[in-house]
Amino acid sequence: MKCLVVLCALVALSECLHRMPLIKVKSARESLEDQGLWEEYSNKYPYNPMVKFLQAGTEPMTNDADLDYLGVVSIGTPPQSFKVIFDTGSSNLWVPSVYCSSQACQTHTQFNPHESSTFQWGSHALSIHYGTGSMTGYLASDTVEVGGLSVTQQMFGLSQTEAPFMAHMKADGILGLAFQSIAVEHVVPVFDNMMKQNLVSQPLFSVYLSPNSEQGSEVVFGGIDENHYTGQITWIPLTSESYWQIKMDSVTVNGQTVACAGGCQAIIDTGTSLIVGPTNDINNMNAWVGAATNQYGRATVNCQNIQSMPDVTFTINGHAFTIPASAYVSQRSNGCSTGFGNGGLGGQLWILGDVFIREFYVIFNAQTNYVGLAKSV
């Protein structure tokens, strides 16, 4: 009798459910389409169902007194290791070679082509100029390993001469992460080859730079490390596919525009220590925060005044990115100075270097041509 009652109840429930209208819940895409946001969202966050099956490469970087951030790459078979600066302000990879007689090469690790079974000479010479030095040499190709990812047949430079300043660098060479359009001899950059060879899960890389000489800095190829930022990511469109270049609206102190009035162009550059801009703008910024510029162009401040110095806000694409004095003033044995320097690229292009990047986790998306910024932690 009890079984019959249960059976009848189940039949009644089934008939009831069958008669009930189905309630359709809108998908995330439908909700975004209703709000007119789907196209913008899909451009920023393209769907990639293979993400969970593919990989990313994380390369730790050493913080050299907040001046440089160095990682290790290996070139050749068997691998020869080199310390490099991961530079979003250039596009070529190069390292010293055994054929270089410059003092800078003698103080750094040198690549020996004869010790690599996968090495091949290229057909072009190479000459690269940076803000603080230059190199000349020859192009070649070999296997390059970085962050656990092996890039085959990567074109890179072997230096034959290096400028005297390079002797003072702790890095052996430089690995450029900007676009191929500015690569010397139009060489395909390392990250472009990572994407072409399907080594990364997403067409982006991200950078965390630690402050106060602390360790923990890293670059993630093909991924984002959520442990290094808090809050939402603000996505900013590029204005040029050369450097990672964006439009900046203004620079303000205490609500007053002190630089970049009417807007200006800026690049986000891991290879530059300071925030650099046109001379007049930088001088005005330094004056507003209470710094005095000496004969060598160093903007010095009284170390006792840091806590009372104002924040500096960079407004980019309508979003405010604020840097406190504790972040833009460096304290060294010879005193304190700001991280604002003269002489942008071409005199007008701003460079948002490490002083800025230490405050904001940066994601460089090579497919959507957006840069993502979020507060670093």
Per residue in 113-171, pLDDT (tens digit) is 999 999 999 999 999 988 778 999 999 999 999 999 999 999 999 999 999 999 999 99
Map out the domains of the chain as residue ranges: 57-208, 225-376
Q: Which fold has domain 225-376?
A: Cathepsin D, subunit A; domain 1 (2.40.70)
Burial of 245 (0-12, 13-18, 19+ CB in 10 A): buried
Would you place residue 36 in the very low, low, confident or very high pLDDT band (cuts 50, 70, 90)?
low
- Per-residue model confidence as pLDDT tens digits over 169-195: 999 999 999 999 999 999 999 999 999
Told to judge if 87 belongs to the known catalytic residues of this protein, a careful annotator would answer: yes
Nearest of 319, 315, 313, 318 to residue 288 by alpha carbon = 313
CATH 1.10.10.10 fits 57-208, yes or no: no
What's the pTM value of the predicted model, to 2 decimals? 0.84
Catalytic-labelled residue, pool 142, 172, 192, 269: 269
**What local confidence, expressed as pLDDT, does residue 40 receive?**
54
Q: What is the mean pLDDT of the chain?
A: 88
Q: What is the pLDDT of residues 313-356, one digit of tens each?
A: 999 999 999 999 999 999 988 899 999 998 766 567 999 999 99
User: Does the fold of domain 225-376 match that of domain 57-208?
Assistant: yes
Question: CB of 69 within 8 A of CB of 63?
Answer: yes
The predicted pLDDT at position 35 comes to 64
Task: Choose the catalytic residue: 87, 142, 192, 354.
Answer: 87
Task: Of 19-33, 55-69, 136-150, give the range with the top mean pLDDT.
Answer: 136-150
- The answer to whether 269 is a known catalytic residue is yes
Closest by alpha carbon to 90, among 241, 323, 269? 269
Q: What proportion of the chain, given as a percentage, has pLDDT over 90?
A: 79
Residues 153-171 as b/e (b if ≥16 CB within 10 A, e otherwise) read: ebbbbbbbbbbeebeebeb
Q: Decide: helix, strand or coil at residue 193.
A: helix
For residue 50, pLDDT over 70 is answered with no
136/157 Cα distance (integer angstroms): 9
Tokens, residue 251? 């620079």
Q: What percent of the chain has pLDDT over 70?
A: 85
pLDDT tier for residue 29 given thresholds of 50, 70 and 90: low
- Give the position of tokens 């429930």: 13
